Structure 1
Amino acid sequence: MRDLAKGFGFLLQGQRWVGRHGRWLGFGLLPGLVTLVLYAGALVGLAFGADDLTAWATPFADDWSSPWQGLFRGFLTALVFALGLFLAVITFTAVTLLVGQPFYESLSEEVDRSEGGHVAESGLSLGRELWISARDSLRIVARVACYGVLLFALGFVPVIGQTVVPVLGFCVSGYFLTEELTAVAFQRRRIELKERLALLRGRRMMVIGFGVPLTLAYLVPFVAVFLMPGAVAGATLMARELAPDTHRPDQEPAPSAQPGAYGLHKD
């Protein structure tokens, strides 16, 4: 429970940091707004087309009598939309971070600078950083999709599907949402995806305490846009907690930061 509260504390600290540095909030709204418009259009399209998709996927129910056909397909339609919303919450952060990569990296650096200690820099070009972010985001989305399919299937289990599964869904969403946000600070420290996931697994409750409230907040229209800069700031503070030795200039680089990490191989 202590780690759970600590994760939520990082989320609040990040929002307070942005509140004290208002210009970062102003600059951070544009990437989120662009992404929000794209996702809103996609979700509206899914809302109007989910029932047709369900009917197409369940031809065996065409001859079912009322009300069973309506109840069955209505339940499946709700699950399809819930799955789309589940994926949207996860991928929204990844896409927004890609759109606003230069801004969010500068914001993360400023948070490190304001907290004192060595400010890590990746030393990579913008194009290389964007490629790494996109590649890692696709890997995360693939993991999330696997969990999503599993949770979708468990949704058919009576009682558990309507109680336990939604809770698990929010926990999974919050966990990987936190991974996406901390990736900004971790990437500057040359910590690769595998090592990042290991660090997060070591403090699962703290990660969930940060990510689940943020996931719930993201379900409210426009909230994600306004919380995004503060979420990056809070995730940077969490990254400092998870990998404290990376701040020290006298510290030897982590194995993933050696030449060869991020595809920088010596000839």
Structure 2
Amino acid sequence: MHDLGAGFGYLVKGQRWVARHGRQYGRSLLPGLITLVLYAAALICLALWGGDLVTWATPFADPWTSPWQGLFRGFLTAVLFALALLLAVLTFTAVTLLIGQPFYESLSERVDIAEDGHAPESGLPLWRDLWISAVDSVRVLIRAALWGLLLFALGFLPFVGQTVVPAVGFLVTGFFLTEELTAIALQRRGLDLRTRLTLLRSRRGLAWGFGTPLALAFLVPFVAVFLMPGAVAGATLLARDLDGPGEPRPDRADEARTGTPA
């Protein structure tokens, strides 16, 4: 329970930090706005033509009589949109971070410097940092998608699918949101994806306390855009709790020199 409260506390502290640094906050809004427009367009298209897609995918239901055909296809359309919304929440952070990597990297460094006057550096050129971030994001999204498919299947279970599964879904979403957001600060400290996941699994309460309220907030239109800069700042503070101010790992320094993963 202590870690749950601490995780939420880092989320609040991050919002307070960007509120005190208006210029940094304003610059960091741009990537979220771009991503929001792209996702909104995709969800609007799904809302308009999702029913047609379900009809095309279920030709076996054509001979069914009313109201069963309408109920069946209406249910599938609602489930399809709900799954798309869940995937949007899961992927929004990764896509926004990828688009806004230079902005959020600068913000994270400023938070570290404000804390103790020092910001760890990965020792890698920018293009390689971007490449590692993109590859790690894809790997995280694959994990999140597998969880999403499992929860989608369990959603058909009576009672459990309408109560337990949504709650577990938000916890899973919160965990992966925390991983994506802390990756900026932890990657600068030389931690690869496997190590970051191990750290977060050892402090699941911290990850859930930070990421789950954020996942719930991201369901409200436009909120994700305005919370993202503060979420990055808070995730940097949380990363310091997980790994400390730290220095880049020797293996990451070796990677910078050789150009190959350690």
For the 8 Å contact 2:123–2:256, the answer to whether it is kept is: no
Q: Which amino acid aligns with 1:58?
A: T
Q: Please give the residue correspondences for 1:1-267 in structure 2 after superposition, counting only pairs within 5 Å.
A: 1-116=1-116, 118-244=118-244, 247-248=245-246, 254=249, 256-257=251-252, 259-260=254-255, 264-265=259-260
Q: Which amino acid aligns with 1:220?
A: V
1:226 Cα deviation from its structure 2 partner: 0.6
1:118 Cα deviation from its structure 2 partner: 3.6
Cα deviation digits, residues 174-219 of structure 1 (max 9, x gap):
1101111001101111110000000000010110111111011111
Cα deviation digits, residues 211-263 of structure 1 (max 9, x gap):
1110111111111111010000000000000001xx245xxx64653524898
Cα separation, 1, equivalents of 2:261 and 2:33: 41
Cα separation, 1, equivalents of 2:199 and 2:261: 27
1:147 Cα deviation from its structure 2 partner: 0.8
Cα separation, 1, equivalents of 2:107 and 2:162: 40
- Gapped runs of 5+ residues in structure 1? none
- Gapped runs of 5+ residues in structure 2? none
For the 8 Å contact 1:113–1:119, the answer to whether it is kept is: yes
| Cα gap change, 1:62 to 1:99, in 2 (>3 Å) | same
Cα deviation digits, residues 4-58 of structure 1 (max 9, x gap):
1110000000000001111111111111111111110011111112212222222
Q: Which amino acid aligns with 1:73?
A: R
For the 8 Å contact 1:190–1:261, the answer to whether it is kept is: no
For the 8 Å contact 1:112–1:236, the answer to whether it is kept is: yes
Cα separation, 2, equivalents of 1:70 and 1:108: 50
Matched length: 262
Cα separation, 2, equivalents of 1:12 and 1:258: 33
Query: Structure 1 residues 104-113 or 149-158, which shifts more?
Result: 149-158
**What's the Cα RMSD here?**
1.9
Cα separation, 2, equivalents of 1:243 and 1:203: 12
Cα separation, 1, equivalents of 2:94 and 2:38: 13
TM value normalised by structure 1: 0.93
Percent identical among aligned pairs is 66
For the 8 Å contact 2:123–2:253, the answer to whether it is kept is: no
TM value normalised by structure 2: 0.94
For the 8 Å contact 1:117–1:248, the answer to whether it is kept is: no
